[in-house]
Amino acid sequence: MSDSCIFCKIASGEIPAKIVYQDDQIVAFEDVAPQAPHHILIIPRKHIRTTLDLTTADNQMIGHIYQIAGKIAHDLGFSEDGFRIVNNCNADGGQVVWHLHFHLLGGREFVWPPG
């Protein structure tokens, strides 16, 4: 855990969030500034700064995040219509919170290429 990390504090319960799923490895909660009718952030409990800091030890956890993203989309009722999973990495990627997270976006149509 990083003492200054807002997502570590959400994972530990120190900062409140609307949690939609959690287990011993990951936490999923509603984004505070939703960009779609459904906008969930999925994070590892372990503090990992960016995608570039992943190691082979994290492979199972990343697969787990994707599997749970599909489960959340199914449970919230937008899996069949479709959804998008986004990971922003570093400045050009638009990352502003320095704890690895995946945006699960659904409930509307998304354009491609992204902005």
Catalytic residues: 101
Is 50 in contact with 97 (CB distance < 8 Å)?
no
When asked if residue 31 is in the footprint of ligand AMP (CB under 6 A), the reply is: yes
Task: Determine, following the binding rule CB under 6 A, whether residue 97 of this chain makes contact with ligand AMP.
Answer: yes
Instruction: Count residues binding ligand AMP (CB under 6 A).
Output: 11
Residues in Cβ contact with 22 at an 8 Å cutoff, skipping those fewer than 6 apart:
28
Residue whose CB is less far from ligand AMP, 34 or 70: 34
- Does position 88 interact with ligand AMP (CB under 6 A)? The reply is yes
Q: How far apart are CA 76 and CA 46, in angstroms?
A: 26
- Identify the residue among 17, 36, 69, 73 touching ligand AMP (CB under 6 A): 17
Per the DSSP assignment, residues forming a β-bridge with 86 are 103
For residues 25 and 88, which CB has a smaller minimum distance to ligand AMP in the complex?
Answer: 88
Rule CB under 6 A: say whether 22 interacts with ligand AMP: no
**DSSP letter at 91?**
H
94 in contact with ligand AMP (CB under 6 A): yes
Q: What is the DSSP string of 3-16?
A: TT-HHHHHHHTSS-
